[in-house]
Structure 1
Amino acid sequence: MKNKFDRRQFLQGLSAAGASALFAQQPQLLRAQESNPAIDPTADSVILLWMGGGMAHTETFDPKRYTPFEPGMKSDTVLSTFPSIPTALDGVQFSDGLENLASIIDKGTLIRSHVVGDLGKILHSRHQYHWHTGYEPPLTVAAPHLGAWIAHALGPKNPAVPAFIDIGQRYEGNGEAEELKAFQTGGCLGSEYGPFRVPNPDQATNAVRPPAGMSKERFKRRYKAYQKLVQQSPVLQEASDYQQESLLRSMDNAYRLLSSPAAEAFDLAKEPQEKLDIYNTGRFGQGCLLARRLVERGARFIELTTEYVPFLHWDTHDNGYTRLKTLKPEIDRPIAQLILDLEERGLLDRTLVILASEFSRDMMVEGKPDNKVPEQVPQPDVIQELKHYGMHRHFTGAGSVLMFGGGAKKGLVYGKTADERPCTTIENPVTITDLHSTILHMLGIPATFGIDVQQRPFYATKDGLGKPVSDLIG
């Protein structure tokens, strides 16, 4: 459970950042530093598959010694609760339950040495903000989401399709909705670069058609009336010209999609039944199919999440082993099929698919061995019940990231973690800053791409200092 004082400070900082963004002067595009040569892009689109909540590396793509459950076992002997399975790469193993992904890892890159800072307190909201924006909160500037930077730098591939689409995250009923909203925005770049949200993949068509019973003409009239209301809003009148124009452009973009043939991409019923059956492992599986259809229609950046909800899904503070028994089948087949479908359609070479999470998990430690947090679910020294068997506590010393297509090397395993607890990174650490720089580089965007906000530079990577990891790029 979070420290309330830290959370309040965090939200206050984000509120200030939002206000500063609203009244900011028009951001001015900065030139990339002259020392950066022109970058030949290897990717045109990105699909970010987000394992919200904290995916344990030792239970997925970096398994360690397996110790099966038995009452009375010592918890400090448990490194992995699943046995290892072979993959398409000789000598490389995954955790049991990821057989489909294991069979295609030769088509992509596995990073085993992704490291994130503990940021003082290891909180989901802070780490998700840091990962998605590249900046540690709180800030006096509303940091844009990585997808917003890409949308700003490259624009839409298809004018009718939003450049940044977010699939699968619902805010309603989520106890951390405000924290999630804080980084799912265009930030200081403006509203037009924020995400087009599709909370429920199986209801995606609702986002791109008028309400039931309303004709297109009636909807058009209502849209024009709504535009006038927005333009006359006292709040908008106080905003800068740039922010006003950006908000209105975002509304125009959404309206353009509703009246475009590209809206058919949101209709999963257009797929053959046999394809629907392969993907339909739940909301995330349906989201993988929707992501593929949107890339086919020219989407630039898509984030698809397993959905972050406190203490659910990958937020495994209890029953770690039992929860992963359910989670793995939900992601394994759909992600593998997404890669195969993109490859079959000739889209994988120019589409970068990334699988990541805000941090990893360990049975014994909270970030580092001497930092035990009493608010977390207590871990007994001796395990008597299955609910204590699994990776439960937040861990920032290592993590796994998968990359397919878009210029990522094929069949590469990068970095290494220790074989004994704590299973931290011991070779080739990859930080968030450098990972973002690598992603942007693949798209032809330098780490120094940025804008002027409040008469100071603000960059797509923290302080413009990101360095692409050249070994990851084919």
Structure 2
Amino acid sequence: MTNDLQDSIHDQMSRRTFLQSSGLGLGAAALSSLLSPNATAAGADPGLGLPHFPAKIKRVIYLLQSGAPSQLETFDYKPKLEQMWGQNLPESVRKGQRLTGMSASQSSFPLAASVYKFAQFGKSRSWVSELLPHHTSMVDDLCFIKSMYTEHINHDPAVTFIQTGNQIGGRPSMGSWVSYGLGSENKNMPAFVVLLSRARGGDQPLYAKLWSNGFIPSTHQGVVFRSGPDPIFYLNNPEGVDKTSRRTMLNYLAKMSEDQYKHVLDPEINSRMQQYEMAYRMQTSVPETLDLSKEPDYIFDMYGPESRKPGTYAANCLLARKLAEKDVRFIQLYHQGWDQHGNLPKDIKIMADSVDQPTTALIKDLKQRGLLDDTLVIFGGEFGRTNYSQGKLTKDNYGRDHHPRCFTVWLAGGGIKKGFTYGETDDFSYNIVKEPVHVHDLQATILHLLGIDHEKLVYKFQGRRYRLTDVAGKVVKPILA
């Protein structure tokens, strides 16, 4: 800021003091109109003309199982592997696919069937592993996609790709794109909230780039809610500052920012002020939302005993329901611990136990409250696992390496067919034989359900027009209700 500009601002401060201290300052008024939900949803870009068509859903809850659950132990039943236990993966099936450095040096690739039993459930006769007994009660609400695939064979690029549409960090997260396009339905809560949990240690790390706003305005970045007394860093007033003092400070700051914006025309100035104002409103709304003390015992019983422990997956699933009730647009849960290169039978049991009951409870809870009809819930990882054992195979122990060629996700909620399975893999769950679905296709479908044409949700940056699905992606219409 130049000295002349500083002098200009300081000269004007005295004649504005009265207006600003009364809460009616010009800067506060301008900011109020900027944040008003009446013209468009709060924070949305009106130039995008959204929604492009009637939406089927209002919000998304994405249950990302970080580390990649094995489709062979959960939903993709392959009895042929039982017949070929220990035999080498035929080259005619592998077809020269590249491997990770963790199994490329193996002299053989012994096939390993799941040690867990499968059965069919519901009117849909969906296959579910005994690892997930609670899932069996809701299969007729689910749409399984068993033919997901990606190009990325390692965790970091794969999870970055499924969250941002690109394997390299720096692009906006899906939640940020949705916030940018549709804004928030609740001006007192962020449009994009992130929750983190883990069931076992030593797994792949998660980085803020996964919920970053990238190059779109920073007001659209994901807001991480942490467990404990301080769920959002720096949200509370420092010692000696009360709510009235903070309001007065924000009014002064709004006008100074307005003056600075007129000189430098940096849109990030307005974004920063929106974030300050949101933080001020969240001082009341967030503690109320995170307070689970008023939930009845039968709700905690539904989600399981871990739901009483802040920061667990179960507690976060319950919190996701509360955030849905508060009209948060995009709720992103990350659950770590699914990377099982060895000791898989034991470790995947830990993971399955941590998610089975609370995930099922979330679907049933949303349903009983009438929220599932306009909410989309997604459950799945960043890629699949190999049908052969990484390392030594024994009767009751094996590991599985990364496998990008096929994996399973499921969806539930508004606009999605219920009790439906789409796509098919071969007898080895190695290659897709029917109805392949690329990660960009899944992203395009999610946006479609929100009333967004994925080819029109764009942002121009450094001379190029960017979008979540880059230059690819098509809506998976057969799974739409």
Q: Given the two structures, how large is their TM-score scaled by the length of structure 1?
A: 0.76
Secondary structure at 1:114 match in 2: strand
Conserved 8 A contact 1:51-1:355: yes
Aligned residues with identical type, % of pairs: 29
Shift of residue 226, structure 1, vs aligned partner: 13
Conserved 8 A contact 1:398-1:423: yes
Shift of residue 212, structure 1, vs aligned partner: 9.9
Structure 2: runs of 5+ lacking an equivalent:
1-43, 89-108, 307-311
Partner of 2:352: 328
Report 1:322-401 matches (<5 A): 322-364=346-388, 379-380=391-392, 382-383=393-394, 386=396, 388-390=397-399, 392-401=400-409
Secondary structure at 1:106 match in 2: helix
* 222 and 253 in structure 1: CA distance in 2 versus 1, 3 angstrom threshold: closer
Question: How far apart, in 2, do the equivalents of 1:220 and 1:438 lie?
Answer: 46
Shift of residue 294, structure 1, vs aligned partner: 0.8
Question: How far apart, in 1, do the equivalents of 2:404 and 2:182 lie?
Answer: 32
Of 106, 109, 113, 1:79 maps to 113
Summarize deviations over 1:201-226 as a string: whole Å, max 9, x none: xx377439965995871695499489
Partner of 1:62: 76
AA of the residue aligned to 2:66: G
Q: Given the two structures, how large is their TM-score scaled by the length of structure 2?
A: 0.75
Partner of 2:291: 267
AA of the residue aligned to 1:100: H
Aligned residues: 404
Report 1:16-415 matches (<5 A): 38-65=52-79, 76-118=110-152, 122-137=153-168, 142-168=170-196, 180-200=207-227, 203=228, 206-207=231-232, 217=242, 221=246, 224=249, 241-260=266-285, 263-282=287-306, 283-307=312-336, 313-364=337-388, 379-380=391-392, 382-383=393-394, 386=396, 388-390=397-399, 392-415=400-423
Shift of residue 265, structure 1, vs aligned partner: 1.6
Partner of 1:20: none
Summarize deviations over 1:385-426 as a string: whole Å, max 9, x none: x5x424x20011111111110211111100001112x52211
Question: How far apart, in 1, do the equivalents of 2:267 and 2:347 lie?
Answer: 46
Shift of residue 264, structure 1, vs aligned partner: 1.3
Summarize deviations over 1:40-76 as a string: whole Å, max 9, x none: 21000000001001111111111222879xx999872
Conserved 8 A contact 1:56-1:360: yes
* 90 and 453 in structure 1: CA distance in 2 versus 1, 3 angstrom threshold: closer
Structure 1: runs of 5+ lacking an equivalent:
1-26, 308-312, 366-377
Instruction: Please tell me the root mean square deviation across aligned C-alpha atoms, in Å.
Output: 3.6
Question: How far apart, in 2, do the equivalents of 1:432 and 1:223 lie?
Answer: 47
* 215 and 271 in structure 1: CA distance in 2 versus 1, 3 angstrom threshold: farther
Shift of residue 349, structure 1, vs aligned partner: 0.6
Question: How far apart, in 2, do the equivalents of 1:251 and 1:174 lie?
Answer: 36
Secondary structure at 2:437 match in 1: coil
* 354 and 72 in structure 1: CA distance in 2 versus 1, 3 angstrom threshold: closer
Flag the structure with larger Rg: 2
Partner of 2:29: none
* 216 and 412 in structure 1: CA distance in 2 versus 1, 3 angstrom threshold: farther
* 30 and 451 in structure 1: CA distance in 2 versus 1, 3 angstrom threshold: farther
Conserved 8 A contact 1:109-1:402: yes
